[in-house]
Amino acid sequence: MPTNLPADGTEVAYERHGDGQPVILLHGGMAPREYWNPVIPHLGEYAAVVPQRPGFGTCLDDPEETSADDVLEREAEYVRTLVDEVDGEPILFGHSFGALTAIEAATEAPVEAVVAYEPAVLPEEYREEADLASRMESLVEAGKRREAVERYVEQVLHPDGIDDLDAWLAEWPVWPDCVDLAEEVVRMNYAVEAYRLPDRLDVDAPVLVLTGTDGPDFLRESARAVHDALPTSRLVEFDGVSHSGPGEAPDLVWAEAESFLDR
């Protein structure tokens, strides 16, 4: 994976596919960068830039020394550094926590547009009963890393319940490797639970906010709230698509994104 070291000392590692205008793809909390493999073939004339997120692999930042309060800003600053490294003004395309990171990065980074699939923002009433980070942390401290990640899957990916979790996990491409990310996901969830959506998000670039009818209700509610907080945005809801929309229906999701970008 190519690695660049800008003047400020922040190491950015990323893969690049293609030679067109860069689209920086930011994955969510429990997905590795390979999450975007189904999307990349649909990008056509655009170049896919897939970074290695801090805490999820090789980078100078040590996740063990990063507090939960600093996680979102750490990742947003990482994306801003990457924006400065690529040619021209890129497009940011984020999923879940990656979508929230994309929006935060775009408050200060010169980007052409942002595509945000179900940003990881909690409605106020849901936040009061979520408490996922502390429950995961207790399980990790007790040596139950697998159980901690399972709680994340049940609450975020299957909030309406799942009949056979073990069978679903056996088919999940990132399982069991994501168990190694348990501590980072705890920090990420503390950051999500601490985040308060402002009345207005200071993003000058146009933003496409995407959501799906088969995902968690609270994330669809948050997608609408994020849309309302942005000065220039469009909201699109996909019928029959879940929280894993970009990987689940890449042709449908990217077609909507490309139409938005063409306008």
Between 18 and 181, residue with greater pLDDT: 18
Give the per-residue pLDDT at 3.
Answer: 43
State pLDDT tens for residues 143-188. Answer: 999 999 898 888 877 777 788 899 988 887 778 877 887 888 888 8
| Ranges for all domains in the chain classified under CATH 3.40.50.1820 | 3-122+197-262
The DSSP line for 115-168 is: EEES-----HHHHHHH-HHHHHHHHHHTT-HHHHHHHHIIIII-TT--S-HHHH
DSSP state of 45: T
Summarised one tens digit per residue, pLDDT across range 107-143 is 999 999 999 999 999 888 777 677 788 889 999 999 9
The SS3 assignment for 86 reads coil
Across 72-98, average pLDDT: 92
**Mean pLDDT across the stretch 3-31?**
75
- DSSP letters, 176-244, are TGGGGGHHHHHHHHHHHHH----SS----S-EEEEEETTS-HHHHHHHHHHHHH-SSEEEEEETT--TT
Q: What is the mean pLDDT of residues 68-83?
A: 85
Q: What is the predicted pLDDT for the residue at 67?
A: 57
Does the pLDDT value for residue 60 go beyond 50? Answer: no
10 pLDDT above the threshold of 70:
no
- Compute the average pLDDT of residues 86-101: 93
Cβ distance 208 to 215 under 8 Å? no
pLDDT band at 21 (very low <50, low <70, confident <90, very high): very high
Helix (H) or strand (E) holding 23: strand 22-26
Instruction: Using pLDDT thresholds of 50, 70 and 90, give the confidence band for residue 1.
Output: very low
Q: Which of the four CATH numbers 3.40.50.1820, 3.30.300.90, 3.40.50.150, 3.40.50.300 does domain 3-122+197-262 have?
A: 3.40.50.1820
On average, the pLDDT of the chain sits at 85
| Beta-bridge mates of residue 51 | 14
* 188-206 mean pLDDT: 91
pLDDT at 50: 92
Residue 48, phi then psi, degrees to nearest 5: -85, 125
Please report the pLDDT score of residue 59 as a whole number. Answer: 39
